[in-house]
A and B are shown apart, each in its own frame.
Chain A
Amino acid sequence: MIEIQEVHKSFGSLKVLKGIDLTVEKGEVVCLIGASGSGKSTLLLCINALESINSGKIIVDGIDVHAPQTNQDQLRRKLGIIFQQFNAFPHLTAQQNVALAPRKVLKTPTKYAQALAQEHLAKVGLGDKLDRYPAQLSGGQQQRLAIARALAMEPDYLLLDEVTSALDPELVGEVLDTLRMLAEDGMTMIAVTHEIPFAREVADRVAFFHQGVIHEIGPAKELINNPQQQRTKEFLGNIL
């Protein structure tokens, strides 16, 4: 379970998060929607401690993420994160990309890590691309590589930061299909997304961010089909 309590975060004088409260249960899929700059992506980075917070608390499975005594490297193994810009490691093959963290972080013997990488790449449909370098893969394939890389660490949660925003429209579908499959397997996910139809279909709940606060939150279909707040209506009206 991820519990986010009264989280505030500023970059200099710019207040990005102004008191976020959100609890995500195991097995739940929560989509964060809202205009750019409303703080959605920053919240994801705060959840796995890639960014610090100014006040409040984020608790993952009972562990206070930002407490000084917390081993954040260890904690991040639970929390897979996937970015908008894929961030495949360009100097490593697909298989090496996936096997690296199991080898170095979990100390899995190379042979097992490679088998693990093959298995996860096959799962996202890249079983025949093991020895390709990222530069030889399409955007959609690179993003699926990033998903396989995160899954190889067997995380309990996945944080998805606009994972389809940098893709050509015809490549969006293949990545969303992969995520759909994960949701059906019961993976807990917090996804920042602009794919409203995807959110409506896959998410259990949707949270609408506006100016650093959660302006409205509710069951996915209800919130998207029938938003209550004026600002939510305007946003969805513009985007759909």
Chain B
Amino acid sequence: MMDRIAGLGRLGLAIIASFGRSGQFLFGVLAGVPRPATGFPLLVKQLYAVGVLSLAIVVVSGLFIGMVLGLQGYTILSDYGSESAIGQMIALTLVRELGPVVTALLFAGRAGSALTAEIGLMKATEQLSSMEMMGVDPLRRVVAPRLWAGFLAMPVLAMIFSVVGIYGGMLVGVEWLGVFEGSFWGNMQSSVDFVDDVLNGFIKSVVFGFVCAWIAVYQGYDCVPTSAGISSATTKTVVYSSLAVLGLDFVLTAVMFGDF
């Protein structure tokens, strides 16, 4: 009985300690600002790996999610004879919620897991400690560019996701099901507000990008340096990122769109 209570206590302490370590780690990464001359090429390289290579999955899922929204929206709204409201439904759903959230989930699966595995393998093969031996700070050289790349790429991907989704919705709604194009765009423009909807969605994607990148690089840096450790760290990255994104989404939505 006492053993179990002690085990629970140990678990709690371990969780709190890992929160503390990740905070310390984040501070170390952000405090070591990379020098512009060497830092910029590294950042560009990571932006390519994290952002550009995620573009394909983001564009394809965005297109299909927009098309599904158009189809589902049309079937429901046509019951009430208001299928012209399909534009505003698609745009609001995508810009406020699905754009940032689904992009963040895809981003965690596509880019976050790769970041964790890469840094974890560097740790397992002792590349990080040999960098330290050479007097190169691995936080500044390896981790910082990846964190910043995730932070910068995520909002860009979310915006592209929303635009492609709206295009997909238009494809189904206007081209296929025959909703009048003028009322599609007109309803959308009269109901979507730039500051309230687009900008708040943008802020959401910035927060999600930061959280996903932080979790990914921390899990890689903190993993047990064995093959089993890397695999469990990669799993943890995807699970924790998804949970954090969905939980934070509720909090941010309540703050941004809740009336209180």
A and B interact: no
